[in-house]
Amino acid sequence: MLFQKLVLLFTFFGFLNARADVKLPPLLQEVQTQYQKSSGVQAEFTQSTDIRATKQVKHAKGRIWIKRPNKLRWETLEPDPNILVSDGKTFWFYTPPFDQDERGQVIIKKTAQVQTQFLNALLSGSFDFEKGSTSIETRGTNAFLLKPKSGTAGDVQIAQITIDPTKHTISEVILTHTSGNQTTIKLQQINLNAKFDEKLFKFVPDRKTDKVYE
């Protein structure tokens, strides 16, 4: 279930990669210009998911690394540790064992099946949209509402992005899903000058990990 939710989350921003002549609000243009000067992004995150059907809110936190053009590492540290990695070609989703006597599991897919452009585009500060695929509304001085065209964004209806007006970094993303659920991702300790070890974007299972190819 968690894996499916992550796939939906990552699939949403696949439409962000296509470029077109869409005039961006000045603040988003400044953010995009700054991010494009870097090779990628390193940050810590907190995530909350408001589940409408059960009226529950689930929380998680961890850290992410995103390297242009298509590599990422998303580590959830709490409450249930797991690691998602893509080197641009292969996608690994690893769940460690709960205790020493159990085995871990890694789901392996081709990256194209998962469309991890979500993180590679949005969190890398790319706001070039395919013509007609989405609309942008300014909300206040530093918040923007993205409304993707139906059928282009998985189960997401609306995304709201909040920009740190001083640092010109993306501080929060709120996704509203067709189910009525809402996912909020807050970013802290954002580093646009990080040096990336290529080992971050590879996952090598040990002998105690079961491999599942999909």
Domain-embedded: residue 88:
yes
pTM of the model: 0.84
Count of domains forming the chain: 1
Q: What phi, psi does 201 have (nearest 5°)?
A: -105, 20
**104 membership: H or E segment, kind and range:** strand 104-110
Task: Say how far apart CA 206 and CA 211 lie, in whole Å.
Answer: 10
Secondary structure (3-state) at 163: strand
- The answer to whether residues 68 and 120 touch, using CB atoms and an 8 Å cutoff, is yes
Q: 208 in a domain, yes or no?
A: no
Contacts 24+ apart (CB under 8 A), 150-154: 152/15, 153/11, 153/12, 153/13, 153/15, 154/8, 154/11, 154/12
For 25, list phi and psi in degrees, rounded to 5: -55, 145
Nearest to 103 by CA among 113, 114, 95, 91: 95
Tell me which residue of 162, 188, 164, 165 sits closest to 174, measured CA to CA.
162
- Report yes or no on 209 lying in a domain: no
Q: What is the C-alpha separation between 40 and 36, in angstroms, rounded?
A: 8
pLDDT in tens, the chain (214 residues): 555 555 545 544 444 444 444 578 999 999 999 998 998 899 999 999 999 999 999 999 999 999 888 888 999 999 999 999 999 899 999 999 988 889 999 999 998 777 545 445 667 787 776 666 778 899 999 999 988 777 666 677 888 999 998 999 999 999 898 899 999 999 999 999 988 999 999 999 999 999 999 8
Tell whether 210 is covered by a domain.
Answer: no
Provide the token pair at 72.
């990422």
Q: What pLDDT, on the 0 to 100 scale, is given for residue 12?
A: 44
Does residue 213 sit within a domain? no
pLDDT at 13: 44
Q: Is residue 207 part of a domain?
A: no
What is the Cβ-side half-sphere exposure of residue 39, based on CA atoms within 13 angstroms? 7
| CATH number assigned to the domain comprising residue 33 | 2.50.20.10
192 is in which domain, residue-wise? 2-201
Residue 60 lies inside a defined structural domain of this protein: yes
Tell me if 179 is assigned to some domain. yes
